[in-house]
Amino acid sequence: MDALKQAMASAAVDVEATLQKVMESEDEPERRLFDSMRYAALGGGKRLRPFLVMQGAGLFSVSRKSARRAAAAIELVHCYSLVHDDLPAMDDDDLRRGKPTVHKAFDEATAILAGDALLTLAFEVLSHPDTHSNPEVRCMLVAALARAAGAHGMVGGQMIDLAAADREMDIGEITRLQRLKTGALIGFACEAGAILGQAGEPQHEALRGYAHDLGLAFQIADDLLDVEGTAEEVGKAVGKDADQGKATFVSILGPERARDQATMLVEQAAAHLAIFDEKADFLRKVAQYIVERRS
Amino acid sequence: MDALKQAMASAAVDVEATLQKVMESEDEPERRLFDSMRYAALGGGKRLRPFLVMQGAGLFSVSRKSARRAAAAIELVHCYSLVHDDLPAMDDDDLRRGKPTVHKAFDEATAILAGDALLTLAFEVLSHPDTHSNPEVRCMLVAALARAAGAHGMVGGQMIDLAAADREMDIGEITRLQRLKTGALIGFACEAGAILGQAGEPQHEALRGYAHDLGLAFQIADDLLDVEGTAEEVGKAVGKDADQGKATFVSILGPERARDQATMLVEQAAAHLAIFDEKADFLRKVAQYIVERRS
């Protein structure tokens, strides 16, 4: 796992530099907005999605610069979603990545605007010629990110999640919820390299299959951490799903079967990558890492 | 003015149909999200920005379909900004376009998500091949909208506006605030047709100049309505700037000088259009309409 951790750290450094660059600001009256955006997006998180982009891009000889910018765009969207999800009207969380959430460190209005600006910036980054010389590719990235992040993807999933405390859900409904809420963006992260590398349909298909299983494994691991982890380890409040009576993979399957399911999904995820050579090894390993992580 | 009003109504019908189409949904658990998006974006407003797009596109023989989609994208962004600006943590408004604001008709969490989804959808619409056959053009639209709507544009302006109640601002600062908050998106609306039509730099330049003056005139008219209009006429609460002690064009210049300034800007806006023939007549007239409107 040491080589994997090094590769993850290296992707994190890469994306951090790109994020810093695209959020530079002058000392204008709106400075507070940029401060809150940087607070939300810099210096934290596992940077899993950027790592998936970088590794996916590595399968198709995509330039590191292109990969970095696509990775940064996805991380901007991920960070915006955390800022808005943490708001008092949503999950009302005070702690994120081990520090106060944006609306706690700044204020609610600033947090709303920071999220809006991070989301918007993601599309500015993707559409810029620096991301890829071919505008067709850039358009495909924009379209795919918008689809993954919007009402038919992440935001739709969050809407279902908000209603989840009020109604019984079966395992099929929870799976669909998670496929939208976290799966769609992870799916785009896994496929972005194939879009950048203008890969063939079998490669896209393989990465979509991988992402589908990885996303669910990731979510089950998250649910397990919410039950078994401590706030100190995880960097955010735990036990919230149970407190709110929300159905999760763990509440329905129980921790043991949930863990088995995650292990099975990890193997299945790796199996989708059979068409790739050893360049996909880190993608194979990160699936394992995801279900074993403690934070 | 009757021909102008007819042209505005026709643009509104066009954009309404496109908005309806891009917000279609199945009867899924996230249905509430789509309902709130439709509530926010359909059946209301002057549709000024779509009208500017359609008229700008008319100068360059752009297909009506392309123009409609660009117009719809801008209106989606405009509507998202209204939903988020109306939130309790922001301007805390109960009334918009004569009906309850989204967080009143639904709830706060749904309003946050509806705004997020509308914004995201705008980029999905622009990046889609239906908007223009040339992906370079679509990328330019995405980039320009992101720039106009983001931290260096509309969201940045909103950040300054939030702080405006707490500090003295002079006319230069207010002008910059409004250039970002409302001017940037109006600027993109005026220039979108030139992007779609791949017009030359002099045409872009003329439309940017026009938009700059039009945007300020529009804002001054808005400030005047906030002082002189009734909630019934305007469809939203009035007198809020004065109540909050916010400096506006009207509070600094007084209503008379503000009105003179708006009239001067309208003439100046029209002068920028001298390089265009009678196809630009509605753009010339709408500037006048904007400062004379009562809602």
SS3 readout for chain B: CHHHHHHHHHHHHHHHHHHHHHCCCCCCCCHHHHHHHHHHHCCCCCCHHHHHHHHHHHCCCCCHHHHHHHHHHHHHHHHHHHHHHCCCCCCCCCEECCEECHHHHCCHHHHHHHHHHHHHHHHHHHHCCCCCCCHHHHHHHHHHHHHHHCCCCHHHHHHHHHHHCCCCCCHHHHHHHHHHHHHHHHHHHHHHHHHHCCCCHHHHHHHHHHHHHHHHHHHHHHHHHHHHCCHHHHCCCCCHHHHCCCCCHHHHHHHHHHHHHHHHHHHHHHHHHHHCCHHHHHHHHHHHHHHHCCC
Q: Which of A25, A142, A160 sits opposite B29 (nearest CB)?
A: A160
Please report the pLDDT score of residue A295 as a whole number.
67
The model's pLDDT over A233-276, given as tens digits with 9 standing for 90+, comes to 777 777 777 777 788 889 899 999 999 999 999 999 999 999 99
Structural domain boundaries, residue B270: 2-292
Please report the pLDDT score of residue B277 as a whole number.
96
Residue of chain B whose alpha carbon sits nearest to that of A160: B30
- Residue B128 to residue A121: CA distance in whole angstroms: 19
Cβ contact A121–B146 (<8 Å): yes
pLDDT in tens, chain B (295 residues): 589 999 999 999 999 999 999 999 988 889 999 999 999 999 888 899 999 999 999 999 999 999 999 999 999 999 999 999 999 999 999 999 889 999 999 999 999 999 999 999 999 999 999 999 999 999 999 999 999 999 999 999 999 999 887 778 889 999 999 999 999 999 999 999 999 999 999 999 999 999 999 999 999 998 998 888 777 777 777 777 777 778 888 989 999 999 999 999 999 999 999 999 999 999 999 999 988 877 6
Q: Are A249 and A226 in contact (CB under 8 A)?
A: no
- Residue A83 to residue A101: CA distance in whole angstroms: 7
- Residue A115 to residue A192: CA distance in whole angstroms: 22
Residue of chain B whose alpha carbon sits nearest to that of A123: B146
Strand partners, B99: B96
For residue B6, give the amino acid letter.
Q
Q: Considering all CA atoms of chain B, what is the largest pairwise distance in Å, rounded to the nearest integer? A: 54
Cβ contact B117–A155 (<8 Å): yes
In degrees, rounded to 5, the angle at the alpha carbon of residue A77 between the alpha carbons of residues B102 and A293 is 120
The model's pLDDT over A56-83, given as tens digits with 9 standing for 90+, comes to 999 999 999 999 999 999 999 999 999 9
CA A232 to chain centre: 21
- Residue B33 to residue B197: CA distance in whole angstroms: 35
Note whether A84 contacts B: Cβ–Cβ < 8 A. yes
Note whether A244 contacts B: Cβ–Cβ < 8 A. no
Mean pLDDT of A205-216: 97
Please report the pLDDT score of residue A112 as a whole number.
98
Size of interface A-B (CB pairs under 8 A): 167
Q: Which of A155, A167, A169 to mutate to test the interface with B (most CBs of B within 10 A)?
A: A155
Q: Which of A139, A146, A176 sits opposite B120 (nearest CB)?
A: A146
Q: CB neighbours (10 Å) of residue B96?
A: 22
- Residue B75 to residue B202: CA distance in whole angstroms: 26
Question: A17 is written with which tokens?
Answer: 């530099």
Q: Considering all CA atoms of chain A, what is the largest pairwise distance in Å, rounded to the nearest integer? A: 54
Residue of chain A whose alpha carbon sits nearest to that of B91: A109
Q: Which of B110, B117, B139 sits opposite A135 (nearest CB)?
A: B139
- In total, how many domains does chain A have? 1
Residue of chain B whose alpha carbon sits nearest to that of A162: B109
Question: A286 is written with which tokens?
Answer: 């990160």
At A196, which helix (H) or strand (E)?
helix A184-196
- CATH code (residue B76): 1.10.600.10
Gap from A280 CA to chain B (nearest CA, Å): 30
Residue A109's nearest CA partner among A84, A85, A140 is A84
Note whether B89 contacts A: Cβ–Cβ < 8 A. yes
3-state helix, strand, coil in chain A (%, to 5): 75, 0, 25
- Residue B42 to residue B37: CA distance in whole angstroms: 8
Q: CB neighbours (10 Å) of residue B249?
A: 25
Residue B156's nearest CA partner among A113, A5, A10 is A113
Name every chain A residue with its beta carbon within 8 A of the beta carbon of B143: 124, 127-128
Gap from A33 CA to chain B (nearest CA, Å): 6
- Residue B240 to residue B249: CA distance in whole angstroms: 14
Q: Are A269 and A217 in contact (CB under 8 A)?
A: yes
Mean pLDDT in chain A? Answer: 93
Which of B 27-66 lie inside 8 A of A, CB atoms? 28-30, 32-34, 37
Q: CB neighbours (10 Å) of residue A179?
A: 18
